[in-house]
Structures are given as C-alpha cells and as structure tokens.
Amino acid sequence: VDPARDTFGAMTGLYAAIQPADSVSLSTRTHGAVFNLEYSPDGSVLTVACEQTEVLLFDPISSKHIKTLSEAHEDCVNNIRFLDNRLFATCSDDTTIALWDLRKLNTKVCTLHGHTSWVKNIEYDTNTRLLVTSGFDGNVIIWDTNRCTEDGCPHKKFFHTRFLMRMRLTPDCSKMLISTSSGYLLILHDLDLNKSLEVGSYPILRARRTTSSSDITSSGSSGPRAVGSPCHQNNSGPLSEKALSRPSQREGGSPRNSLEVLTPEVPGERDRGNCITSLQLHPKGWATLLRCSSNTDDQEWTCVYEFQEGAPVRPVSPRCSLRLTHCIEEANVGRGYIKELCFSPDGRMISSPHGFGIRLLGFDAHCSELVDCLPREASPLREIRSLYSHNDVVLTTKFSPTHCQIASGCLSGRVSLYQPKF
C-alpha cells in the first residue's frame, strides 16, 4: 500500500482550509503583468517573471522580498526554470536565455543566444544536464550546461515545427510533448535528446484525434485529420496520407524519437479549431493537462488526457497514446493572454486561473489519485475550492513543492499567496 494514499485525506483537509491572507500578498504592480511563477525545488525561494524585464525573488514562508533583478532581460520575461536549488534559467521575448546563481545575483552566469524569436519556455533533463528551450521561431534547442562558460553553452537545434506554443518533457524524460496554436499536440516517443531531428529524419506515427473512453471501440475516430499538421516538411506543405502511413516501427517497438501527431478532443470543439495555450504534465507522468481556447476565442477548456500504456507502434494502430478523461469549461476572460495552470506536487489537484482568482480542481470530490478514479467516459473535473484575491485577470498559478501553499499572479502585477488558515 502506498503510504501517500493513506495521508491524502489530511492534505485534502489542509487545501480545503486554504485562504488568501493580506499579510502574505506580494505587491509587484510596478513591474507589469506576472507571466510565470516558479518555486525552487526546496521551496525556499519564489521567483516571479514580470512583463517589464524584471525577475523578483521572495521568501515564500516569511513573504519577504529578497531581490529584484531589474534588468534581467531587455523584454518581457516569460518563464523561469530551476536546475537545482541554486541555479535557475530565465527566458524572454528578447530571444535570449539567462542562467543565474542564487549565491551571486548581481550578474548572470551566462546568456544563451540561439533563438530568433520570443523564447517561451524552458525544460531541464536532470540526468544529462541538458537545458531544453522552445520559442515562437518554432525551434526546440538543446543547451549543454555541462560545458557552460561566460560566453554561453554549446547548443543545437533539436526539432522544428510551425505554430509552436509550449514544450514539455515527461518526468522521466522519455517523451517530449509540444503544443501548437493550430490545435495539434505532438509527442516524441522514446526520446533521445542527443540526436538532432532534421526535416524528414523522424518516423511519423499516424496523425489522429485523441479519444475519450467512449470512443475506444469506435473505428470512426481513428482516422487522420484532414488538414495538414504543423510538422515542418521539405515542401512546407501539409502531411500527405502517404507520409502519415509509411512504416515507422522497428523490431520490438517504435523507433527512437518517433513522432505522433494528435488533435486533442475538446468538448464542443469537434467542428471548430482550437489553440492549445498551456501544457503541463502530471508529476508522475500519468497524464497531460491542457488549456485550450477556441479559434473564435469564445470558449476556454481545461482538459486532462491520460497516457495509455505504451505508444502506438504501427501507423495502422486503432488507438493513440492519449485519451480524454476529465474536462471543465473555464471563465472566458482576459482574452489574448495565456493562463498557466499546474498540478499539485502529488498530482491529486489542479490549480487553474479562473477570472480574477483560481480554482482548485480534483478528479473526484475526494481528491483521489487519477489512477484510482479513471472514468469510463470523459467526466467533469470537480471544483474543490475557489480563491479570489485579485482585482485583475489571473495569468499564472503554482503549488509550492514542499509546503501547503499556492501562489498566483495577475495581469496588473499582483502576486498572492494562499495557505491554510484555521
């Protein structure tokens, strides 16, 4: 028996008692909108990525301001990623990535140049110490932090796709997921970051729409989408049926870096395209969490897709590696801004920006593990608690990795902390 399953009731009780408290509200209104929040792995530092070129650092326990990196970049700071308890990376619309050391914040460790457009998110492989970044230039770039100097790090382009929005690595770094503004979700299976993927060099698994549980026995949902995928081809055109259907399996399983192209099913969006604006992964690698908005920008949805065991190894496989399990419609406010949502450290809860506040969502009313409450058909996420303390649209939220605490940041630049109050 997993001991964590015996203690989740205590955590659920703590989160049920969580509230905003004025004493721990952090005002950052002079620094522009808050685009991203990130805790250090030990929970001792909260970093804030701001619209106006700045990065703020706070002690989340005492709510004391530690440092302001007033010129961290020359444009909006979009994302922050800790490599360990002292090193962290930031990326910006100025097309650069910067490395910082908490022990010496007066200067950058180094600045990384390689992207040609806005850099939107950062991932890190702790096994190989490779930094992975993605941007609106469509490139995913690998940086070798083992050989970092003041002049930067050796780097190479790993992958390219049109309409790239976000890129994530699964916790075991066995898969890379890429979301696009055209509604596609790309999955690279059996990931090998040491191999660059040139145009046409990766095996392509059959493109198709993801299933909900009720679709598993339906053969009609297993066909490829009629329109072209965002994968960059030699002719820059849509993927042809011939390209989608060519053999891609190796003996005993799918090849390294095999590409699966999916169009995730979103409720109410069967006949309308959608944009995947936010992409997160379950901390145990069981599921992916998407925030989708319709192309007409009149609906937003939060959706959970379970990873089915294994990847499809044949292009004629009747199923894909993801299926829709839970979803909920979101407040359609703050149009044009991306709302970053997140899983709790144990993966039982989701914190989602909702208008001027956040909602805590569970897979059921008891905040059970996903694997313990998988529905036969796609079910609504359950609202556990709503928390409101902002006067503007919330853009990002994050759970502390070590304490029962949640942070949120809004469009007007305010950061609030929520913690239990009895």
**Residue 268, pLDDT score:** 65
Task: Count the neighbouring beta carbons within 10 Å of the beta carbon of residue 329.
Answer: 13
Q: What confidence category does residue 119 fall into, taking pLDDT thresholds of 50, 70 and 90?
A: very high
DSSP annotation of 315 = T
**Residue 302, pLDDT score:** 94
| Mean pLDDT in residue range 259-283 | 81
Q: How far apart are CA 342 and CA 338, in angstroms?
A: 13
In 3D, which of 257, 243, 405 has the Cα closest to residue 315? 243
| Stretch (H or E) spanning 12 | helix 3-16
**Residue 11, pLDDT score:** 64
**Residue 9, pLDDT score:** 62
Q: Which of 143-157, 219-233, 293-307, 387-401 has the highest mean pLDDT?
A: 387-401
pLDDT in tens, 361-407: 999 988 888 998 899 899 999 998 899 889 999 999 999 999 889 99
Question: Does the pLDDT of residue 95 top 70, yes or no?
Answer: yes
- What residue spans define the domains of the chain? 23-209+257-411
Burial class (CB in 10 A: 0-12, 13-18, 19+), 61: middle
- Sign, CA dihedral 136-140-145-149, equals negative
Least confident stretch, 7-16, 177-186, 378-387, 395-404 = 7-16
By the 8 A CB rule, do 81 and 89 touch?
Answer: yes
In 3D, which of 268, 344, 337 has the Cα closest to residue 303? 268
Strands 211-212, 357-362: pairing is unpaired
Q: What confidence category does residue 272 fall into, taking pLDDT thresholds of 50, 70 and 90?
A: low
Strands 34-39, 46-50: pairing is antiparallel
23-209+257-411 domain in CATH 2.130.10.10?
A: yes
Q: Which two tokens stand for residue 292?
A: 């989708």
**Residue 251, pLDDT score:** 40
pLDDT in tens, 22-46: 545 666 667 889 999 999 999 999 9
**Mean pLDDT estimate for the chain:** 80
Question: Does the pLDDT of residue 228 top 60, yes or no?
Answer: no
Q: How far apart are CA 93 and CA 275, in angstroms?
A: 20
By the 8 A CB rule, do 396 and 34 touch?
Answer: yes
Strands 211-212, 322-329: pairing is parallel
**Residue 43, pLDDT score:** 94
By the 8 A CB rule, do 328 and 300 touch?
Answer: no
**Three-class SS state of 99:** strand
Question: Does the pLDDT of residue 415 top 60, yes or no?
Answer: yes
Query: In this prediction, what percent of the chain has a pLDDT beyond 70?
Result: 75
- Which one is predicted more confidently, 239 or 334? 334
- Which one is predicted more confidently, 5 or 261? 261
Query: In this prediction, what percent of the chain has a pLDDT beyond 90?
Result: 48
**Three-class SS state of 218:** coil
Total residues belonging to the chain: 422
In 3D, which of 273, 272, 222 has the Cα closest to residue 244? 222
**Residue 165, pLDDT score:** 93
pLDDT in tens, 335-360: 788 999 999 998 999 999 999 999 99
| Mean pLDDT in residue range 297-309 | 85
**Residue 409, pLDDT score:** 93
Query: Global pTM?
Result: 0.83
| Stretch (H or E) spanning 325 | strand 322-329
Amino acid in the structure at residue 257: N
Question: Does the pLDDT of residue 71 top 60, yes or no?
Answer: yes
In 3D, which of 208, 203, 206, 181 has the Cα closest to residue 279? 181
Q: How far apart are CA 360 and CA 342, in angstroms?
A: 10
